[in-house]
Protein backbone atom coordinates (compact mmCIF):
# COMPACT_ATOMS: atom_id res chain seq x y z
CA UNK A 1 0.00 0.00 0.00
CA UNK A 2 2.59 2.49 1.14
CA UNK A 3 4.91 1.55 -1.71
CA UNK A 4 2.23 2.35 -4.31
CA UNK A 5 1.52 5.67 -2.62
CA UNK A 6 5.16 6.61 -2.49
CA UNK A 7 5.39 6.42 -6.29
CA UNK A 8 3.14 9.47 -6.43
CA UNK A 9 4.06 13.04 -5.75
CA UNK A 10 6.88 13.76 -8.21
CA UNK A 11 9.86 15.90 -7.29
CA UNK A 12 10.36 18.46 -4.56
CA UNK A 13 10.28 21.67 -6.50
CA UNK A 14 6.55 22.14 -6.93
CA UNK A 15 6.03 21.72 -3.17
CA UNK A 16 8.45 24.54 -2.59
CA UNK A 17 6.39 26.55 -5.07
CA UNK A 18 3.19 25.73 -3.17
CA UNK A 19 4.80 26.72 0.13
CA UNK A 20 6.09 30.02 -1.30
CA UNK A 21 2.70 30.85 -2.81
CA UNK A 22 0.97 30.01 0.47
CA UNK A 23 3.29 32.30 2.41
CA UNK A 24 2.95 35.13 -0.13
CA UNK A 25 -0.82 34.81 0.14
CA UNK A 26 -0.87 34.77 3.93
CA UNK A 27 1.59 37.67 4.07
CA UNK A 28 -0.53 39.74 1.74
CA UNK A 29 -3.73 39.02 3.65
CA UNK A 30 -2.17 39.92 7.00
CA UNK A 31 0.01 42.88 6.06
CA UNK A 32 -1.64 44.72 3.16
CA UNK A 33 -4.20 47.27 4.28
CA UNK A 34 -6.15 47.60 1.04
CA UNK A 35 -9.08 45.19 0.87
CA UNK A 36 -8.61 44.59 -2.89
CA UNK A 37 -5.01 43.59 -2.31
CA UNK A 38 -6.08 41.31 0.53
CA UNK A 39 -8.52 39.65 -1.84
CA UNK A 40 -5.82 39.08 -4.45
CA UNK A 41 -3.56 37.63 -1.77
CA UNK A 42 -6.41 35.30 -0.81
CA UNK A 43 -6.56 34.05 -4.39
CA UNK A 44 -2.81 33.43 -4.40
CA UNK A 45 -3.20 31.38 -1.22
CA UNK A 46 -5.97 29.30 -2.80
CA UNK A 47 -3.79 28.66 -5.86
CA UNK A 48 -1.10 27.37 -3.51
CA UNK A 49 -3.48 24.71 -2.21
CA UNK A 50 -4.42 23.75 -5.76
CA UNK A 51 -0.74 23.43 -6.77
CA UNK A 52 -0.17 21.24 -3.72
CA UNK A 53 -3.02 18.86 -4.56
CA UNK A 54 -2.22 18.62 -8.25
CA UNK A 55 1.40 17.83 -7.36
CA UNK A 56 0.20 14.91 -5.28
CA UNK A 57 -1.31 13.37 -8.40
CA UNK A 58 1.92 13.37 -10.39
CA UNK A 59 3.57 10.02 -10.99
CA UNK A 60 7.08 9.75 -12.30
CA UNK A 61 6.78 8.29 -15.79
CA UNK A 62 3.00 8.09 -15.39
CA UNK A 63 0.47 8.36 -18.20
CA UNK A 64 -2.86 10.17 -18.27
CA UNK A 65 -5.56 8.04 -16.62
CA UNK A 66 -7.21 7.05 -19.92
CA UNK A 67 -7.06 4.10 -22.27
CA UNK A 68 -5.29 5.00 -25.51
CA UNK A 69 -6.04 2.68 -28.47
CA UNK A 70 -7.21 -0.14 -26.21
CA UNK A 71 -3.93 -0.14 -24.40
CA UNK A 72 -4.84 -0.07 -20.73
CA UNK A 73 -3.21 2.67 -18.72
CA UNK A 74 -0.93 0.93 -16.24
CA UNK A 75 1.05 3.45 -14.27
CA UNK A 76 -1.26 6.42 -14.56
CA UNK A 77 -1.44 9.73 -12.74
CA UNK A 78 -4.00 9.91 -9.95
CA UNK A 79 -7.15 11.56 -11.34
CA UNK A 80 -8.81 12.13 -7.97
CA UNK A 81 -6.87 15.23 -6.82
CA UNK A 82 -7.71 16.85 -10.15
CA UNK A 83 -11.39 16.20 -9.59
CA UNK A 84 -11.13 17.57 -6.05
CA UNK A 85 -9.37 20.69 -7.28
CA UNK A 86 -12.05 21.34 -9.89
CA UNK A 87 -14.43 21.66 -6.95
CA UNK A 88 -11.94 23.79 -5.05
CA UNK A 89 -11.60 26.10 -8.07
CA UNK A 90 -15.39 26.49 -8.20
CA UNK A 91 -15.38 27.32 -4.49
CA UNK A 92 -12.56 29.80 -5.01
CA UNK A 93 -14.40 31.52 -7.88
CA UNK A 94 -17.61 31.81 -5.85
CA UNK A 95 -15.75 33.14 -2.82
CA UNK A 96 -14.07 35.75 -5.00
CA UNK A 97 -17.46 36.67 -6.49
CA UNK A 98 -19.05 37.19 -3.08
CA UNK A 99 -15.99 39.12 -1.91
CA UNK A 100 -16.07 41.41 -4.95
CA UNK A 101 -19.76 42.09 -4.42
CA UNK A 102 -19.01 43.09 -0.82
CA UNK A 103 -16.12 45.30 -1.97
CA UNK A 104 -18.26 47.09 -4.57
CA UNK A 105 -20.86 47.90 -1.92
CA UNK A 106 -18.14 49.06 0.46
CA UNK A 107 -16.57 51.30 -2.15
CA UNK A 108 -19.91 52.82 -3.21
CA UNK A 109 -20.68 53.78 0.37
CA UNK A 110 -17.30 54.80 1.78
CA UNK A 111 -15.30 55.63 -1.36
CA UNK A 112 -12.28 53.78 -0.02
CA UNK A 113 -11.06 50.23 0.43
CA UNK A 114 -8.39 51.01 2.99
CA UNK A 115 -8.89 48.91 6.11
CA UNK A 116 -7.79 51.39 8.75
CA UNK A 117 -9.76 54.22 7.15
CA UNK A 118 -12.86 52.02 6.98
CA UNK A 119 -12.52 50.94 10.59
CA UNK A 120 -12.24 54.59 11.63
CA UNK A 121 -15.42 55.39 9.72
CA UNK A 122 -17.22 52.45 11.34
CA UNK A 123 -16.31 53.55 14.86
CA UNK A 124 -17.96 56.92 14.30
Partner 1 sequence: MSRHLPILIVLCPLVGALIVPLVGRVSVRAARGLTVLATMSSLACAVAALREVLSGDDWHYHLGGWAPPWGIEYVVDPLGGGMAVLVALLATLVAIYAGPYLRGFSSLRGATFDSLFLLLTGGLLGITLTGDLFNLYVFLEISSLAAYALLGSGGERAVVATFRYLLVGTIAASFYLLGLGYLYALTGTLNMADLAIRLAAVPSGSAATVGVVLIVVGLAVKMAVFPLHGWMPDAYTYAPPPVTMFIAAVMSKVSAYALIRLLFFVLPAGDAVATARDVLGWVAVAGVLAGSVLALPQKDVRRMLAYSSIGQMGYIVLGVSLGNAAALTGALLHVGAHAVAKGCLFGAIGSMPRQTVQVEIAGFAGAARRAPLTMAAFTVAALSLIGMPPTAGFFSKWYLLRGALEADAWVFAAVLLVSSLLSAIYFFRLLEQIYFADGPPVSEPGQASGVARRSWRVVAPVVTLGAIVLLIGLFNGALVTSVIERALPEL
Q: Which residues bind partner 1 (CB under 8 A)?
A: 1-2, 4-5, 8-9, 22, 26, 29, 35, 38-39, 42, 45-46, 49, 52-53, 56, 81, 84, 87-88, 91, 94-95, 98-99, 101-103, 105-106, 109-110, 115, 118-119, 122
CB 7 within 8 A of CB 60: yes
What minimum distance in Å lies between the beta carbon of 69 and partner 1? Answer: 27
Q: How many residues are recorded in the chain?
A: 124
Comparing CB distances to partner 1, the nearer of 24 and 99 is: 99
Estimate the share of the chain in helix, then strand, then coil, as percent rounded to the nearest 5: 70, 5, 25
Comparing CB distances to partner 1, the nearer of 68 and 122 is: 122
Phi, psi angles (nearest 5°) of residue 12: -95, -25
Amino acid sequence: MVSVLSSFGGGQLQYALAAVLLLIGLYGMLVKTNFARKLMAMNVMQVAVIVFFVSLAVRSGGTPPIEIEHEAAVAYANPLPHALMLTAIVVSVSTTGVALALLIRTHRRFNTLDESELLDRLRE
